[in-house]
Amino acid sequence: MQTISPEAEKVRQILTEHGLETPMLSQKKSKEQRRTEIQHKMQEVLALIGLDLEDDSLHETPARLAKMYIDEIFRGLDYQHFPKITKIKNTMQLTEPVQVNNITLLSTCEHHFMTIDGTVAVAYYPNKWILGLSKLNRIVDFFAKRPQVQERFTKQLLLALQTILETQDVAIYVNAVHYCVKGRGIQDSNSHTVTSAYGGVFLNDRKERRIFLECIK
């Protein structure tokens, strides 16, 4: 049976202690059991909507939804999927910030289960460790692959990276379109939501924060 890595467990504990973990229940059922039960319940939901599941186009839809929920768009609810972290000791004594812009964000709004589509920028000052560049993207993707609110997501990224890198000097910037705003309700197709979170020098030094934001632009 696959286990949770020490790094993932440390991140989960820190988020829980700070009240930033996504509300979730411990799972005692296997993935196969959950997929089967979701499939049966989605058959009921789709029938109540008024769809004919005997139609060739719709017949497999409940199974597709069950697989998508468990194996794809909500896989970040399972810390067994937390990315393997590659950290390199900062023997080069790097002192300048590392910044990655335009990381793809594709998540799901936990209020209406509609898409959140945007980008993330991450920066940090290396202290003890340098993180493999793709790992920043993978950590963003892990926390995006769960029902989310953007404000919590932003702070989850900050605290997770501070924990992994063992430094407070981390900055997060998220710019996203919410399809619960764009596709329903007010149906505003032009607005986007910006959230940010800062630690260490990015929190305390306005100049450092301004440089981070200017690099995004």
Query: What residues are annotated to the active site?
Result: 109-112, 150, 178, 180
Can you point out the beta strands (E) in the chain? 87-89, 98-109, 115-124, 129-131, 147-148, 170-178, 193-198
The pair of three-digit structure tokens given for residue 19, joined into one six-digit string: 């009240």
At residue 169, what are phi and psi to the nearest 5 degrees?
A: -80, 75
- Note whether 87 and 130 are within 8 A (CB): yes
The tokens for 153 are 């997501």
Considering only CA atoms, which of 181, 80, 100 is closest in space to residue 140?
Answer: 100
Q: Name the residue among 124, 92, 119 with its Cα closest to residue 107.
A: 119
Which three-class secondary structure string do you get for 152-203?
HHHHHHHHHHHHHHCCCCEEEEEEEEEHHHHCCCCCCCCCCEEEEEECCHHH
User: How far apart are alpha carbons 202 and 168 in whole angstroms?
Assistant: 9
